[in-house]
Chains A and B, each alone.
Chain A
Amino acid sequence: MSQIVGYRRPAAGTQPDYLFPRYASTVKRAPTQPLVMLPQTQTELSGPVFGYGEVKRGDHDLTKQHAGDPIGERIVVSGRVLDENGRPVPNTLVEIWQANSAGRYPHRIDQHDAPTDPNFTGAGRTLTDKRGNYRFVTIRPGEYPWRNHYNAWRPAHIHFSLFGQAFVQRLVTQMYFPGDPLLAEDPMFNCVPDEGARNRLISSLDWETTIPEIALGYRFDIILRGPDETPMESRKS
Chain B
Amino acid sequence: MSLHATTSQTVGPYLHIGLTWLIIENLVPAGVAGERISIEGRVIDGDGKPINDALVEIWQANGDGKYGEKGFRGFGRSATDDEGMFRFHTIKPGRVPGPGGKLQAPHIAVNVFMRGLLKQHVTRIYFPDDPANPEDPILALVPADRRGTLVAKKVAGKSGALEWNVILQGRDETVFFDC
Which A residues have a C-beta under 8 Å from some C-beta of B? 10-11, 14-18, 20, 23, 25-33, 35-44, 46-49, 54, 82-86, 95-97, 99, 105-107, 109-110, 121-125, 159, 161, 167-168, 170-174, 188, 191-192, 196-198, 200-201, 222-226
- Contact yes or no, B15 A159, CB < 8 A: yes
CB distance from A155 to the nearest CB of B (A): 12
Number of A-B contacts (CB under 8 A): 225
**Count of residues in B whose CB is under 8 Å from the partner chain:** 66
Q: Are B19 and A33 in contact (CB under 8 A)?
A: no
Bits for B101-144, please: 1 = Cβ < 8 Å to A, else 0. 00010010101011111111110000000000000011001100
Q: Is B5 an interface residue (CB 8 A)?
A: yes
CB pair A170 B141 closer than 8 Å: no
Knowing A27-B46, A44-B109, A123-B21, the reply to whether A36 touches B8 (Cβ < 8 A) is no
Say whether, besides A43-B109, A84-B2, A16 and B68 are in contact (CB < 8 Å). no
Complex Cα gap A41–B137 (Å): 10
* A107-B17 contact given A42-B97, A43-B104, A49-B68, CB 8 Å threshold: yes
- Of the listed residues A11, A85, A124, A167, the one surrounded by the most CB atoms of chain B closer than 10 A to its CB is A167
B179/A40 in contact, CB under 8 A:
yes
How long is the Cα–Cα vector from A17 to B62 in the complex, in angstroms? 33
With most chain A CB atoms within 10 A of its CB, the pick from B6, B13, B116, B178 is: B6
The answer to whether A16 and B173 touch (CB under 8 A), given A36-B141, A36-B178, A85-B1, is no
- Complex Cα spacing A166 to B122, Å: 13
Residues of B within 8 A of A191 (CB): 7, 9, 118
Residues of A within 8 A of B179 (CB): 37-40, 44, 168
Query: Nearest A residue to B73 by beta-carbon distance?
Result: A48
Whether A37 pairs with B178 at a CB distance below 8 angstroms is: yes
Known: A15-B5, A43-B107, A84-B3. A28 touches B118 (CB 8 A): no
